[in-house]
Copies of this chain bind each other. A is one copy, B any other.
Amino acid sequence: MPLKRFDRPVILGMVGDSASGKTTLARGVARILGEHRVAAIRTDDYHRYTRAERAMNGLSALDPRANYMDILEQHLGLLSQGKPILKPVYDHATGTLAPAEYVTPKPFIIVEGLLGYSTKEMRDCFDVKVYLDPEEDLRVDWKVQRDTAERGYTRDQVMASLEKRRSDSPTYIHPQRAFADIVVQFRRPEGQEDERGAHLDVRHILRPTLPHPNLAPLVDAGAKNELSLDLTRDEDGKPVDVLGLSGSMTDERAAALENLLWELIPEASHLRDNVGEFTNADKEQVVSHPLALSQLLIAYHMVKAALGIHVI
């Protein structure tokens, strides 16, 4: 299907600490929206220094001073107006800067990284803002696994890097949580401290900054231990809805919930595809039902936003 004309792209933010699951979630959302319709931007490309330079100047990659923040803001503004950018490139494999690359906006843009919600000008560019907030022990495990497998670090180097960032995360990353429409929290189920993948539970903290779908039919369809929707107070005391999805959900229940979600956006039925796959520590493609439903809920908001602007 050729791309339709569109006035401006619909932009999704996927912000969170290092190894909080941003790429896995973003990739699934892109697959639902149709990868040819999605431009992906990683804010790590806006790193100002090489890995060696950061080691010299003592700045972590989380520090805004170690990133071209004003250029990121400028580029988000240009993309949100449908204009192309010449994006810098940071090569994670070598920790060096590479030649800039040309990015044309597509109907959907997914911006994933550490620092996307730092300024009001940046935040105003997003249609949907997600913040990843997994259990800390889980994140540390994910980071060790990813950085040793893909970025050439040793386990000790990863632990040292985490230690060095211990004050930068609360200073620069965590405050962005307050600006998200949806906070996604992957957690190990009670008594299953070794769970790292397909059977993690997930909680969605839903703020009224987005028109969330009516989830009552889903909750009614799920058993209480598989799916829950609770009015509660967030860690900052503000009222929120919390949608709980259990990692022990059966395939049948998950399929029923997926069907219900698809029925909420009949205009997008042609986008239906496999969702929820991820690559586990053993390099196997596995399906996580909570992950699939998280991707679908986020895609729901992207599609709804797009329907207000252009035909998808």
Mark A residues whose CB is within 8 Å of B: 48, 68, 70-71, 74, 78, 83-86, 88-89, 96-100, 102
Cα A96 to Cα B99 with chains together (Å): 9
- Shortest CB-to-CB span from A83 to chain B, Å, is 7
Pick the residue among B68, B71, B86, B99 that contacts A98 (CB under 8 A): B99
- Shortest CB-to-CB span from A227 to chain B, Å, is 45
- Shortest CB-to-CB span from A182 to chain B, Å, is 30
Q: Which residues of B contact A74 (CB under 8 A)?
A: 78, 83-84
- Shortest CB-to-CB span from A124 to chain B, Å, is 17
Can you list 7 contacts pairing A with B, beta carbon distance less than 8 Å? Answer: A71-B102, A86-B86, A96-B99, A97-B99, A97-B100, A99-B99, A100-B100
- Shortest CB-to-CB span from A42 to chain B, Å, is 15
Cα A141 to Cα B217 with chains together (Å): 80
Contact between chains at B70 and A84 (CB < 8 Å):
yes
Q: Which residues of B contact A89 (CB under 8 A)?
A: 99
Cα A196 to Cα B261 with chains together (Å): 76
Contact between chains at A71 and B99 (CB < 8 Å):
no
Contact between chains at A71 and B88 (CB < 8 Å):
no
- Looking at A70, A99, A100, the one whose CB has the most chain B CB atoms below 10 A away is A100
Cα A71 to Cα B141 with chains together (Å): 41
Q: Which residues of B contact A83 (CB under 8 A)?
A: 74
Contact between chains at B78 and A100 (CB < 8 Å):
no
Contact between chains at A100 and B88 (CB < 8 Å):
yes
Q: Which residues of B contact A88 (CB under 8 A)?
A: 86, 99-100
